[in-house]
Amino acid sequence: MAGGLVYGYWTAAINRAGGPITGWNILLGFVSAVAFMVALTGVRALAPRLRRELHATTWAVFAGIAFGFIYSQSGASILRCCLMSLPVAGAVGALTFYRYYTHEDAEGHRNR
């Protein structure tokens, strides 16, 4: 929950660009927080049921989209937002794949 609130506040702060706080800005923050938490809850429920490759890909896509959306609030073009989120998604995907690869046996069962 706290992560969603931080994400929503961060989104609203970037969107207003140092200007005054408005009702639409607050609404954007709350809607972003709720959307982030719903997506995070979905990823946390779905991803562990997948094989390690798809598990890591799910987290990479989530991180890339979350970063791309928050970067788009700065007023950058869609192309730039996509290009900037690719390294974030790639890094998250590589790190999570490494973690899942080293914490599973050959059949894909998690070591606990």
Kindly report, residue by residue over 51-104, the tens digit of the pLDDT: 888 999 999 999 999 999 999 999 999 999 999 999 999 999 999 999 988 887
**For the chain, percent of residues with pLDDT exceeding 70:** 92
Model confidence band, residue 10 (pLDDT cutoffs 50, 70, 90): very high
User: Residue 106 pLDDT more than 70?
Assistant: no
d(CA 67, CA 107): 33
The whole-model pTM stands at 0.88
- Look at residue 51 in the predicted model and tell me its pLDDT: 86
